[in-house]
Every structure is written in C-alpha cells, then in structure tokens.
Amino acid sequence: MCGIVNCNINGIVKTFPVIYGSLNEKAINISTLREQTGYITFDPGFKNTSIAKSSISFVDGEKGILLYRGYPIEEIIQKCTFLKTSYLLLNGELPNEKQLHNFSYMINQVNISNNNTKILQIFEKYPINTHPMGILSSLSSILEFMQEENNNNIFIHLLAKFPILAALIYRKKHGLSPVNYDNTLYYTSNIVNMFFATNNDKPNYIIVDALDKLLILHADHEQNCSTTTVRLLSSAHVSLYASIAAGISALWGRLHGGANEAVIEMLENILHNGGNIKKWIEKAKNKKDPFRLMGFGHRIYKNFDPRAIIIKQVAENIMKKLKFNNPILQLAKELEEVAINDSYFIEKKLYPNIDFYSGIIYQAIGIPKDMFTVMFALGRLPGWIAHWKEMRLNQEPLVRPRQIYVGYKKRNIL
Ligand code: SDX
C-alpha cells in the first residue's frame, strides 16, 4: 500500500510519500525533505523516527504485543526453545528437526576443542574490579581474532562462544575454576553447567527451563537502544564482533539493560529501609527527587510489557519449585500492585517492563547481581546478530543524523 501526504511549508505545498508497514504502521518518507524544503526534522531520542525497515520483530506498545518474525511471544515461549528462537530470528523461519539439529551441531563443533587458554590468559590482565559487562564487551571484540579452525560462520562462532565467555566471567570473578563446555548437553543446559557444575550431576532442569525462557524473552525487541547501536555500527561496515561489543556497552546503561541490576538494588534498599512502599512510590513521583521506579516505564509499551507478564509467572513458578523464599518477590508484587493503581503511573502509562522481575529469577538461579545484564546480553545476542545482518543485506546507508547547531557563530582568534 502506498500514499502521500501534502505538507504546507510557508505557503508552499510539498508532497511526501507514505510508507505502510505490514501491520499498518505508517511513516512519512522524508528522505527528500531538506532537498525539497531546506528544513530538517528535530526528534530527540528518535521517539517519532524510524531508522530503517525491519522484518525481525514487531512491538505494538499500545496493545502490549511482541512478535518474533510474526510469531507472538506467548506462543514462542510455549513451543520453542531458545536455540530454536535464535534460529528463527537469524533465518526468518522456524527450523525443521534436521535444521535445528545441524544448527546445534555446528555450535557444538566450535567448542569441541574447548581451548579457552587464550581467553583465560587475557582474563589475568583485567583489574579485579572490572564489571562483567566491561569484560564481556572487550572479549567480544577480541573473539574476532580467535576464530576456530573448524568454523567459518561468524554467527555460529559468537553464539557458541558467548555462553563460554559469560560462564568464565562468572567463575573467574568468584575464584572458581572454569567448567568445560559439554557438547552432549543442550545449549542452555551447558550455560547452567558451565556456571554452576559442582560434580558430574546433570544441571537442574527447573533452572535450565527458567533460564531458557528468560533468554527467549530477551532475544529481540526491535530498535531498542543497544540494537540500534549495533545497526548503527553495521551501517559503517564495522565487523559483527565489534558491533556486538558496542551493543553490550549500550545495554549496560541503567535506563536500558542495566535496569535489571538496578531493580534488585532498589528493592533491597526498600526492604532494608523498612519496606515502606508508599514512601518510595511518592519519591518516584516527585519531580525534584532523582529516584525513579526502576523496572517501570518503557519508551514503547504504554500498556503491560507482555514479557513482564510471562516473567512474573516464571518467577513465581521457580520460587515454588525451588522452595526459594525470597521476600524481594513479595515486595516486588506489592510494589507493582500499588504502582499500577496509582494515578501518576496510570496517567503516564507506566507499567512493569522486562527488567522488573528478571533479576528475581536470576537470584533464584544463583546468578549474582553484577551478572544480570550479562544474562540479558546472552539472550539478546541472536537479535543483535539478526539486525546487524539485516542492515548489511539491505545495504542500508551509513547512519549519520543531522543536528540543530546552537553554538557560537563564526568568530576569529584574536
Ligand atoms: C529496557 O526499548 C526497549 O525495547 C528496551 C527494552 C529491550 O527489550 O531492549 O525493553 C529493555 O531497556 C526496558 C527499560 C528498562 N529501564 C528502566 O526500567 C529504567 C526506569 N524507566 C525509565 O527510566 C523510563 O521509563 C525509560 C527510560 C525506560 C523510558 O523513558 P522515556 O520513554 O524517555 O519516557 P520519559 O523518561 O520521557 O518518561 C515520561 C514521563 C516522565 O514524566 P514527565 O516528564 O512527563 O512529567 O514518565 C516519567 C518521567 O519522569 N517516568 C517515570 C518512570 N519512567 C518514566 N517516573 C517514575 N519512575 C519511572 N520508572
């Protein structure tokens, strides 16, 4: 479907084409605006700006809908594993049995050598207090120069190595010796095994299932800050590895993926200060107070984040099954109940987002706070790769926005 809009600029009518998305999103194509009118647009935070056409995921923020390649997240979480979801995001279609087996086999082949000595040598150089996200970002860049002889597929290489990096970061930060990749295990079972293996017992299925669901829920989310960062680097023809490293750094921000760590710090602080929920809700509403309710609000969702609804169920299930009694979950549920019924949050359409409950599950699994955003990155990796690939396949132009200059007029050094 196509259309046009007429813009009357200072009495002169200019016509611009309209682009319609497959789910009827509408965009005015202003790629000739400056040429036709001498004007540019001003849209801080790109709140009203699309930077490209994409077919990977779709979010309807008003209706609380998330689709991965057209499939609703609620169906994906019921019928797919994270590995199957990764294949879908990367290739556009769900794999048949043979394709999935081959995908898993190729990932296992990369790790068959289990030769992580070079990575371990690099570890020794990091200052002891380096944040796991800083280590993950730098190691992702270096991975490019540590190709495995039996693999020439960079997507497979990253998918195979990322869990090993995450597990090594966790084990090294906690003075534990590394656990080797076990290519008899499923992808997420390997992650749990490499993190927590104590003896040769198999990874706890409850933990594997909960983590697999978390990875699925984090796998992609359109043009979020870190994915747009990866796309931006891809537009400059930066390598996939360096683009992912930049995406990791963008995700680290407290307003973005770093919010999961900030939520637990916030809940623990509320609990340790008497658990007075009303007091903290009032602080969050007070413009003069820098406190924000972490894990609440979203640039796109002005309704419930469908992932937060699922994650809350996963949190309640795992607590029950592991008989894990964490007062933080009860506090989070009470806080949510008060906030979603408060006029400020209702009026500003602030609902719990994916980060509000995820940290509670990571804690129940035994993952420390400073590793929460690393786990987010583990989930988001297939989405980042898919977007990097899409930018290159679509031969998108170099991303280079304009600006409104408000600095000094031309002047000379006296
Ligand atoms: C993720 O984009 C994605 O898809 C991201 C993500 C993904 O999967 O990649 O979904 C993952 O990053 C989720 C978001 C995690 N961040 C947090 O939980 C941090 C807390 N949330 C806020 O910082 C905020 O809600 C943002 C940054 C997430 C969104 O901010 P926007 O869209 O820029 O909206 P805004 O800051 O302009 O807020 C609008 C109003 C403001 O009040 P007014 O100036 O209109 O009076 O709502 C208020 C804000 O002050 N507000 C909040 C609030 N979030 C917004 N007030 C109190 N607590 C909050 N959390």
Tell me: the pLDDT tens digits for 116-133? 888 889 988 999 899 999
Whole-number pLDDT of residue 113: 74
pLDDT for the residue numbered 201: 77
- b/e map of 140-166 (b: 16 or more CB within 10 Å)? bbebbeeebeebeebbbbbbbbbbbbb
- Tell me, using a 6 A CB cutoff, whether residue 335 lines ligand 1: no
Distance 292 CA to ligand 1 centre (A): 9
Position 151 pLDDT exceeds 90: no
If you measure from the C-alpha of residue 351 to the centroid of ligand 1, how many angstroms do you get, rounded to a whole number? 10
Give residue 200's pLDDT: 65
Active site residue 131: no
| Catalytic option among 209, 220, 305, 355 | 355
Q: Give the whole-angstrom CA distance, residue 400 versus residue 397.
A: 9
Residue nearest to atom 15 of ligand 1 (CA): 256
Query: Could you tell me which residues come within 8 angstroms of residue 278 by beta carbon, excluding any fewer than 6 positions away?
Result: 338
* 259 in contact with ligand 1, CB cutoff 6 A: yes
Residue 201 falls in the annotated catalytic set: no
Confidence of residue 83 (pLDDT cuts 50, 70, 90): very high
Q: State the Cα angle at 372 between 366 and 375, rounded to 5°.
A: 95
Q: Which atom of ligand 1 is nearest to the CA of 45?
A: 33
Compute and round to an integer the Cα radius of gyration of the chain.
Answer: 23
Question: Which is catalytic among the residues 131, 157, 221, 298?
Answer: 298
Rounded distance from Cα 254 to ligand 1 centre (Å):
10
| Ligand 1 centroid – CA 295 distance (Å) | 8
Asked whether 293 lines ligand 1 (CB < 6 A), one says yes
Between the CA of 44 and the centroid of ligand 1 the distance, in Å, is 14
Q: Assess whether pLDDT exceeds 70 at residue 29.
A: yes
pLDDT in tens, 262-297: 999 999 999 999 999 999 999 999 999 999 999 999
Distance CA 111, CA 94 (A): 24
Ligand 1 close to Cβ of residue 374 (< 6 A)? no
Give nearest CA residue, ligand 1 atom 54.
297
